[in-house]
Structure 1
Amino acid sequence: MTSNNYGLVPASAGALAEPRGVDEILLGFARMLRVAGVAVSPDRVQSMIAALGHLDVLDEDSVYWAGRLTLCSNPDDLPKYDAGFAAYFGGEVPKPSQSQPPQHKHVEASFGMDDHAPEGTGEQEDDPIPGMASAQEVLQHKDFSDLQPAEREELRRLFELLAPTSATRRTRRYGPNKRGITDAHKSIRAAMRNGGEMTRLARKRRRVRPRRLVILADVSGSMAPYADPMLRFAHAAVRRDQVHTEIFTLGTRLTRVTRELRLRDPDKALRAAGAAIPDWSGGTQLGEMLRAFLNLWGQRGIARRAIVVIFSDGWERGDPTLLGEQMQRLHRLAYSVIWANPHKGHAGYEPLTGGITAALPYIDHFVAGHSFASYAELAKVISHA
């Protein structure tokens, strides 16, 4: 079977086009599932493409079941796959009837193509599969402040697929491992059980555990267009690891919202967090709030050797010198300091405001925070910090 821009056709039919349109969409779908936490390996992707080589790529049920049966390796992957399929292809998840096999209906809403379209008509529409991918790509790179209500709803579904993971660290404790240094005590005890004969050497290696992730979110008025996606990202991080994740909001007051964001439903979690934040869309005193965080929480251990992410545009109503001093304190405590600024993703941006200028020397990673794509990139920075 060979793929072309209009689906899968037999090689005997003389279709010698390179496999581009359909395969690119399927690879993009697999990459999105990998970001969502589904262990999609290259051989599984090849199996999905090979399966669709024997099916109708324009049929919604065929695409759904070919991907589900090849890309999912355990039951925990199924909800992520269903959400990813609905978000990526823009359709409902197929639900086959129990009394009869699923009907093969064409999905013009998702793929929107006609594989029998006449050639050379002069008004032939562009290939809609790359068009669908382009629309998805544009939405992921679009600034949150420019989104329409329908686009915001679509991105909410994409945020449910995010699973930010913190970088790991080695502990002082050792655990059994196939590789590593020789565990003399276990090796000798095993030899004594075998009459003194040393049959094999036991080995050990230091255990690893995730670093604590601390998110400080600016909820002032200037950050209002980015507050919802900012907290949805924080909710995704808490959902991924409740034990090692802490969330605080910064404005005119410091508020810990970790407990509220532990609710599994994103909308309920955000409503609970909104009710707990008393200074929503108010002013901002980053220096004062950062000092309060370090005095009450950070110095006591939350920020020690942790990955700290600050979401803020850097507008400081107070003294920028104080912010610089507190950022220096934070930098000494934390393992890595990441600052996500929504304006950094705009062309021609330069960090000229007083707050950013004072904080920049103590920032390890200065990243954008204006679109879903920038948040996906931020998740990679956190995992590789």
Structure 2
Amino acid sequence: MDVTSPKTPRADAALLGFARALRAAGVDASAERVYAFLRAVGELRPGMRADVYWAGRLTLCGGRDDLERYERVFAACFDGSAPDGRTTATAPPPRPRLVVRDGPVPRGPARPEHAPAPPAASLASSAEVLRHRDVAELDSADREQLRRLLAAFALRGETRRTARRRPARRGQVDPRRTVRELLRRGGEPARLRRHARTDRPRRVVLLVDISGSMAPYADALLRFAHAASRGSRAEVFTIGTRLTRVTRELTHRDPDLAMTALAAAVPDWRGGTRLGELLREFLDRWGQRGMARGAVVVLLSDGWERGDPELLGAQMRRLHRLAHRVIWANPRKARPGYAPLAAGMAAALPSVDAFVEGHSLAALERLAAVVAGAEPGLVEGAERA
């Protein structure tokens, strides 16, 4: 990998590739760390290998365990040597493991009754195990696998009937097309032309909490939002101490580029939470003007509120009147003995149509099904809009 050229978009792509290789090796290079790495390289000399080395070591490594992995990946990416002249041996690729499992005896020549069966190679489905694990408990390798799985996500809103019509074999008679067909045939009998109304998915609005209490889940939820905004009518906002619209930043097809752009646009990572005030700001600036009208609004938050819970309750009632459905995904809901006793969560819950978990890949899959209307997930006592 060549980093001897000045800072260019191509050089940024090379540095992002280096960050991906680090994650694959087990280093937890989050979007915040990658953004800090790019800024550090920009402030130093991008053409100097030593500057790139130390910028990455100081920003991308989170502990002693990451240093050996960093040395190995840097040596593999940048001409096989560290800036101080040391050469680092690349670890050999892992060998496939053989798992002996019981199975039916294949048909073939007869053999002794107690002869051991030959070992059969089987690939354990690590993705299936990962689906149900809490995101906050994953190590670096599992987080990288989770990112790859989230990149293939798709999220579509519940379909609604529109006023537009399309040609169809069955449906109401289309008088205009039928008359045009008769005129084209000179008045001779012609088959009646028909049309039917079209369906389209509702707009989905995602409000993602990036406060300090949501830090273990923020990266996964934002990557879920990135997948949701790809190819659908989705709007994404981050909420913490400020409200930031990040729909444009998430238009990058590459998830890592999108996360880097998002990290540069959001100024309030790991801060406090002002859910009531920020929800009021969203409704005043965007929701009341049409973004929330008839939409499926999803809040991804643990419900911790530093402000007035009564304000949050009032704004949630206001949102419930505008939106088609209001869904709240709380990562803490999956914990044993959880009850929505936090002041903010308790104030918001009466205005929520569906209250679901958001702690794992399986929970996010169910959230996608609830958004699409495939699963109700209704809150007891809640009324649908």
2:220 aligns with 229
Residue deviations 1:284-343 (CA, integer Å, cap 9, x gap):
010000000000111111111111110000001111111010001111111111110001
Distance 1:185 1:291, change over 3 A: same
Pick one of 347, 351, 363 that aligns with 2:336: 347
What displacement does 1:250 show? 0.6
Q: Which moved more, 1:301-310 or 1:192-201?
A: 192-201
2:182 counterpart of 1:195: no
Structure 2 distance, partners of 1:299, 1:207, is: 26
Gaps of 5+ in 1: 1-106
2:141 counterpart of 1:150: yes
What amino acid does structure 1 have at the position aligned with 2:302?
Answer: D
1:10 aligns with none
Give secondary structure in 1 for the equivalent of 2:328. strand
Structure 2 distance, partners of 1:323, 1:124, is: 64
2:251 aligns with 262
Pick one of 368, 374, 378 that aligns with 2:357: 368
What displacement does 1:113 show? 5.7
- What is the RMSD of the two structures over their aligned residues, measured on CA atoms? 2.6
Residue deviations 1:331-383 (CA, integer Å, cap 9, x gap):
11111111100011222221111111111111111110000111111111112
- Given that 2:293 and 2:322 are in contact with CA atoms closer than 8 Å, whether structure 1 keeps it comes out as yes
Pick one of 296, 300, 317 that aligns with 2:306: 317
- Given that 1:111 and 1:132 are in contact with CA atoms closer than 8 Å, whether structure 2 keeps it comes out as no
Distance 1:232 1:120, change over 3 A: farther
What TM-score results when the alignment is normalised by the length of structure 2?
0.66
Structure 1 distance, partners of 2:253, 2:157, is: 19
2:100 counterpart of 1:109: no
What amino acid does structure 1 have at the position aligned with 2:325?
Answer: S
- Given that 1:175 and 1:207 are in contact with CA atoms closer than 8 Å, whether structure 2 keeps it comes out as yes
Q: Larger Rg: 1 or 2?
A: 2
What displacement does 1:111 show? 7.1
What displacement does 1:281 show? 0.3
Distance 1:369 1:179, change over 3 A: same
Structure 1 distance, partners of 2:113, 2:243, is: 64
Give secondary structure in 2 for the equivalent of 1:270. helix
1:166 aligns with 157
Give secondary structure in 1 for the equivalent of 2:271. coil
Structure 1 distance, partners of 2:354, 2:189, is: 51
Pick one of 215, 218, 235 that aligns with 1:246: 235
1:328 aligns with 317
What displacement does 1:173 show? 2.0
Counterparts of residues 265-276 of structure 1 (less than 5 Å) = 265-276=254-265
Residue deviations 1:192-237 (CA, integer Å, cap 9, x gap):
3323333311111122222111100011100000000000001001
Structure 2 distance, partners of 1:119, 1:351, is: 60
What TM-score results when the alignment is normalised by the length of structure 1?
0.66
Pick one of 124, 128, 133 that aligns with 1:132: 124
Residue deviations 1:136-185 (CA, integer Å, cap 9, x gap):
32211000110010100111110111111222222212221122111122
Pick one of 267, 272, 292 that aligns with 1:278: 267
1:289 aligns with 278
What amino acid does structure 1 have at the position aligned with 2:348?
Answer: A
Distance 1:111 1:270, change over 3 A: farther
Give secondary structure in 1 for the equivalent of 2:253. coil
2:192 counterpart of 1:205: no
What displacement does 1:240 show? 2.7
Distance 1:111 1:140, change over 3 A: farther
- Given that 1:320 and 1:355 are in contact with CA atoms closer than 8 Å, whether structure 2 keeps it comes out as yes
What displacement does 1:276 show? 1.0
2:31 aligns with none
What amino acid does structure 1 have at the position aligned with 2:311?
Answer: L
Distance 1:193 1:296, change over 3 A: same
- 4+ residue segments displaced more than 3 Å: 110-125
Distance 1:188 1:278, change over 3 A: same
Give secondary structure in 1 for the equivalent of 2:169. strand
State the identity as a percent.
55
Residue deviations 1:79-128 (CA, integer Å, cap 9, x gap):
xxxxxxxxxxxxxxxxxxxxxxxxxxxx9737756999998589998x77
Structure 2 distance, partners of 1:381, 1:281, is: 28
Structure 2 distance, partners of 1:271, 1:210, is: 29
Structure 2 distance, partners of 1:228, 1:296, is: 26
- Given that 2:155 and 2:368 are in contact with CA atoms closer than 8 Å, whether structure 1 keeps it comes out as yes
Give secondary structure in 2 for the equivalent of 1:179. coil
Give secondary structure in 2 for the equivalent of 1:142. coil
- Given that 2:326 and 2:353 are in contact with CA atoms closer than 8 Å, whether structure 1 keeps it comes out as yes
1:359 aligns with 348
Structure 2 distance, partners of 1:198, 1:220, is: 69
Counterparts of residues 41-190 of structure 1 (less than 5 Å) = 109=96, 112=99, 129=122, 132-133=124-125, 135-190=126-181
2:77 aligns with none
Structure 2 distance, partners of 1:330, 1:109, is: 53
Structure 2 distance, partners of 1:354, 1:122, is: 62
- Given that 1:188 and 1:198 are in contact with CA atoms closer than 8 Å, whether structure 2 keeps it comes out as no
